Amino acid sequence: MLTGVSAAMAGTVLAGCMGPSPSEQAYEALENVVSKEAPFKKEQEPLLKLEQEENKLYNEIVALGMNDFDKIKKLSAEALELVEDRKARIASEEKSIQASEEAFKDAEEALGKIEEKEAAAEGEELQKLMNDRYDAYGKLAASYKVAAALDEELYQMFQKKDLKLEDLEAHIEKINASYKEVKELNTKFNEYTDQYNKAKKEFYSAADINTGEE
């Protein structure tokens, strides 16, 4: 399951007489990034449920062993609908991450203005981790869409009465390899997300930003 960037517990804005400092501007921008990823986080549970439902249908189809073609055709049609739903949710997820990436540009601009040495260094690390995270997500999303397309082809194959076992086995092998890649990329994305969330706390501490957290 994918993880998202975390928000500070309290959005304390520290604006002085001369207006917000670069660190405070960065804080505002970074918390805005979190809000942009709200739709992304919202899609995680529904996506997992769709995958579980689809897996259940697949197991039912395999258990029938082509002995009840009408039932297999019905179940595979239901599975195709679930794949379409997954693809739509992935598109929504991608849109959210793209909005996050666009919002992060404001954070990078503010982080680049920070002069205090320790906070500036933490800010640079934060930018690197987030850009690595965006790159990892791009690869993950592309891989997931390939896997979903292979799933779609699989259920279309089940719609054919003259389906050959060797063709089915070869296709399932492709699917397994594809989802192995998805799993590896998912792990990498989650690692970057965890590292980023930790680095953001360290930046807030170095920049003396009071977020209300203990």
Q: Residue 16's pLDDT band (boundaries 50, 70, 90)?
A: very low
**What is the mean predicted confidence (pLDDT) over 21-34?**
94
User: What is the percent of the chain where pLDDT is above 90?
Assistant: 85
User: Does 75 score more than 60 pLDDT?
Assistant: yes
Average pLDDT over residues 99-117: 96
Average pLDDT of the chain to the nearest whole number = 91
Residue 89 has pLDDT above 60, yes or no: yes
| Average pLDDT over every residue of 141-154 | 97
Quick one: average pLDDT of 102-106? 97
Going along the chain from its start, the domains and CATH numbers come out as: 22-206 (1.20.120.570)
- pLDDT of res. 3: 66
Amino acid at 34: V
Determine the average pLDDT of the residues in 135-140. Answer: 98
CA distances (Å), origin 126, targets 135, 136, 146, 167: 14, 15, 30, 47
What average pLDDT does this structure show over 18-43? 91
